[in-house]
Amino acid sequence: MKFLGHQLKSPLVLASGILGISYSSLRRVIKDGCGAVTTKSIALNPRKGHEGPIWAEFKGGMVNAVGLSGPGIEIGIQEVEEFKQVCDAPLIISIFGSSIEEFKKLTEYTNNSKADFVELNLSCPNVSDEFERQFAQDEKLVYDVVRAVKGISNKPVFAKLSPNVTNIKIIAKAAEDAGADALTLINTLGPGLLIDPIARKPILKNTFGGISGPCLKPLALKIVYDVYKTVKIPIIGIGGVTYGIDAIEMMMAGATLVGVGSAVYYRGQSVFKKILKEMNDFMIENNYKSYEELIGKIHNG
């Protein structure tokens, strides 16, 4: 299918933060059926992230607080170049800055990389100690960051937004008005808290962690639904997609592409193949000839 001038072999995208550190795992995900991949969010400098536990499970989902570990933009870009040497599928480089200035510096690097798209992580909920609040919670900040990056980026720019806002439509519109080429919805919810009752302690070292997994699906669907009606730019729908039917629903709500993340845990590395097979089965049974037909289907019957 076509997406912003690129040809994708499927509407599935590896969501940021999952297996996205090394070029080889990105390539493997493409081989398994993803149409595009997103790197783990890259900051200017190397980051160790939080100490463990960084992950814990509950019925319906999981919480994580990895803390944006990563090698920094210089090495991150080397991994992108290595990926591009062995794979021609579109790559979305996710970048994370603590200020507009940092986002602009990061964009200077991405301009000189072979990445196809730039995704602005405006909404990681796990680094609130370092950063007073998320960009994604303030429409003015969203507008300013997107505008600043768009002003210098030589690649299309996506804004990754947070579900933790009063009115997502206002934020989404701000990103579109600032020139965003697509929106990535949604980042993890919360953060939330899980407790070890025997030890009487929070499980995560960071105390709180972003909520993901199947429990997110209804919220993600609703947000994609709302935003689809509000903006004209394409949406990458993410949140609890575990089975083919979830991806179909996400596209019907208005997503052009569908992100897969935590499902790698529930169904293993072959999850992309499985989801695609299930999507194709549904489409054959229900007489859909192309992925494009699914997009926004519930809005127009």
Partner 1 sequence: MDKRYTVKIKKIIDECESVKSFIFDMDLKAKPGQFVMVALYGVGEKPFSIASTDGKELMLTIKKFGKFTDELFKLKEGDLLSIRGPYGKNFSIRNDNLLLIGGGVGVPPLFFLSRSLFRKANITFINAAKNKNELVLDRIIKNHVDKYVIATDDGSAGIKGNAIEVAEDLIKNNKYDFVYAAGPEIMLVKGVQLCEKYNLNYEFSFERYMKCGIGLCGQCVCEPTGLILCVEGPVLKRKDILQIEEFGKFKRIATGERKYFN
Interacting stretch for partner 1, rule CB under 8 A, among 71-79, 115-123, 182-190, 281-289? 71-79
Residue showing tokens 């949140």:
239
Q: 62: closest CA among 259, 204, 170?
A: 204
Distance of CA 111 to the CA centre of its chain: 20
Is residue 87 part of the annotated active site? The answer reads: no
Stretch near partner 1 under the rule CB under 8 A, chosen from 53-61, 113-121, 161-169, 273-281: 53-61
Contacting partner 1 within 24-43 (CB under 8 A): 24-29, 40
Q: Which of residues 73-92 bind partner 1 (CB under 8 A)?
A: 75
Cα separation, 246 vs 264, in Å, equals 14
Q: What is the dihedral of CA 142, 147, 149, 151, to 10 degrees?
A: 180
Among 37, 38, 47, 294, contact with partner 1 (rule: CB under 8 A): 47
Q: Which of 59, 133, 232, 289 is close enough to bind partner 1 by CB under 8 A?
A: 59
Q: Are 159 and 146 in contact (CB under 8 A)?
A: yes
Contacts of 80 (CB under 8 A, 6+ apart): 23, 39, 91, 93, 113, 114, 115
Nearer to partner 1, 29 or 172 (CB): 29
Output b/e per residue, 114-134; b: 16+ Cβ within 10 A. bbbbbbbbbbbbbbeeeeeeb
Does 149 contact partner 1 by CB under 8 A? no
Identified binder of partner 1 from the candidate list 140, 199, 285, 300, rule CB under 8 A: 199
Binds partner 1 (CB under 8 A): choice among 4, 6, 46, 274: 46
Chain residues that interact with partner 1, rule: CB under 8 A: 17-29, 40, 46-49, 51-57, 59, 64, 66, 69-72, 75, 196, 198-199, 201-203, 205, 262, 264-265, 268-269
